[in-house]
Amino acid sequence: MRIMGLDVGDKTIGVAISDPLGWTAQGLEVIRRDTLEKDFNRLGQIIKEYSVEKILVGMPKNMNATIGPQGEKVLAFIEQLKENTHLPIKTWDERLSTVAAERMLIQADVSRSKRKKVIDKMAAAVILQGYLDAGAN
C-alpha cells in the first residue's frame, strides 16, 4: 500500500511517497501553495499517479506536545483534504522533522540555495519514514 506523506506549511506542501511495500519514503516534490483548489488538484494527480491508499500529514506540535496556531491550520487543511480525497488520513508528530532534514542535507554537502528548494519534501520524507519505521502502518 502506498502512503503519501505531507509536510503542510503556509507557502508550500512537501510531498513524499512510500514504496509499494511501505518500507521506504522518498521525497517527491514541493507544491507551492496557491489556492486550495489548485493544491488539492495537484495532490489528486499524485494520488492517482501513484495509487496512494493512505495519507499521512505531519502535525506541528509545540515542544510541550500542545497544538499551536500552525497545528490549527494543519487540522483545518486536513478537514478539507478529507472532503476532497475520501482516503484515510493519519497525523504524525512532525516536531524537529525540518531540523532532521536540514542536517541530512548539510551532511550531504547540499548548498544552502538547493537546500531551500528541497527542504520541505525532505521533511515530508522524514515524517513518512518515521511513521513507516514505527510500524504504525
pLDDT in tens, the chain (137 residues): 899 999 999 999 999 999 999 899 999 999 999 999 999 999 999 999 999 999 999 998 767 777 878 889 999 999 999 999 989 999 988 766 666 667 776 777 767 777 666 677 888 898 899 899 888 55
Tell me if residue 23 falls in helix, strand or coil: coil
Write out the CATH class of domain 2-133: alpha beta
| CA dist list (Å): 81 to 86, 93, 98 | 8, 18, 22
DSSP state of 35: -
Q: What is the Cα–Cα distance from 126 to 20, expressed in whole angstroms?
A: 17
Amino acid at 47: I
The model carries a pTM of: 0.85
pLDDT of residue 97: 66
Grid look-up 494543519 returns: 74
Query: What are the structural domain ranges in the chain?
Result: 2-133
* Neighbour-count burial for 6-45, b at 16+ CB within 10 Å, e otherwise: bbbbeebbbbbbbeeebeebbbbbbbeeeeeeebbebbee
